[in-house]
Amino acid sequence: MSIESIRSVQEDTVVDNPLEEFQATLKEAVEILHYPDEVFEFLKKPMRFLEVSIPVQMDNGKTKVFQGYRAQHNDATGPTKGGIRFHPDVTPDEVKALAGWMSLKCGITDLPYGGAKGGIVCDPRTMSFGELERLSRGYVRAVSQIVGPTKDIPAPDMYTNSQIMAWMLDEYDHIREFDSPGFITGKPLVLGGSQGRETATSKGVLYSLQMLSELKNIPIEKMSVIVQGFGNVGSYLAQYLYELGVKVVGVSDVLGGIYDADGLDIPYLLENRDSFGVVSNLFTNTISNQELLEKECDVLIPAAIGGVITKKNASRLNCKIVIEAANGPTTKEALTILDERDIVVVPDILANAGGVIVSYFEWCQNNQGFYWSEELVDERLKEKITSSFLNVYHTSQNYGVSMKVAAYIEGIRKLAEAARLRGWLRF
């Protein structure tokens, strides 16, 4: 598999503007709450947005300048929190939308954070280890004045990992001249990371599905599931589902998908995936990612990139439930179609909140200097997801709205109330 083949597949994916998607549902939820327009104006954009240029010496001796971003959406409830993604398609509007979603996510799960997000326009798959380290350190130097353990706490996101967090932590410690493990989460365990952080997002999605199966009285082991995306979140999720006896009938990667109505051998896929997480090249009868989305299943879990379920394909989905493991995989127009078809959508700001929840646990452990077992982390994660899911579900029932809008309502309430009490808003 070549880098060029990956790019050609990604360039065929057209994603609606994520900031406009965020703002449209935000406005709808604010109006349902009968809040004044000032609340929408206050929340529709980040309070702070930084764009930086990062010069990096490449292995060939030349200097390349990378564009980086950091959006801090709202700090009414506490320091901001959010991941850093390395991706060639990162845009300012995407980063701003992701920061807004993170604010709502923290409100839903009752975390003492506002939302933030960072990104660098780069293709890490074409860069050497040394180039990635120099880029990571350069980003921290560029944003160091606005981040910190009581200001804005970064974490991993798309194409970043614990090693990149370790480089960023080390650079920040050099700048500040003291050890500050709480500056960043998703770190290696030996540098103050938390047990269970790597699998947290996947487990949060799993717990959300288990909650829905209980509320709908559908045994989870009788469900058939498609996982669109086989990266960190998708692969762990497929593994957990398989271990529970769930029939995983489809998975996909950046090159394509595989589908078997009788169920896939997930352990075989995990053992034989390549260094990019690609498994579709193990088979000759592959299908496209779009075709996989429309295959028959009980539960469809988009766990890759945003904007994959749109008004163009929403009417052709052949599932009963959508669990949004990715950020913003379903457009607002598509959600309207799915709602009309009585397809339940568990929104991203609820379903994939496991990552930020365990990042919060890591931050708490760093501040206390006391570390928890993986069993305790998982127990507390499940408690958080369960209570948050029930709150959103009941709000959906009480207001007669989709779970997506209900999740926005829950998130907005906390942000607006914090801003009102601080005197920033008056209503």
**Helical (H) or strand (E) element with 344:** strand 344-346
33: left (phi over 0), alpha (psi -120 to 50) or beta: alpha
Which value, in Å, is the radius of gyration of the alpha carbons in the chain? 21
3-state secondary structure of 196: coil
| 115: enclosing H helix or E strand | strand 114-121
Instruction: Give Cα separations from 316 to 290, 312, 320 (angstroms).
Output: 10, 8, 12
Q: Which of 117, 247, 295, 382 is labelled catalytic?
A: 117
The SS3 assignment for 309 reads: strand
Closest CA to 84 of 186, 205, 233, 200: 186
- Burial-class residue 398 by CB neighbours within 10 Å (0-12, 13-18, 19+): exposed
Instruction: Give dist(CA 210, CA 363) in Å, integer.
Output: 27
CA separation (Å) from 103 to 70, 76, 82, 159, 182?
14, 10, 9, 22, 19
Contact 82, 116 (CB under 8 A): yes
Cβ-based burial of 146 (10 A; exposed 0-12, middle 13-18, buried ≥19): middle
* Residue 117 annotated to the active site: yes
The pair of three-digit structure tokens given for residue 125, joined into one six-digit string? 């798959």
Catalytic site positions: 117
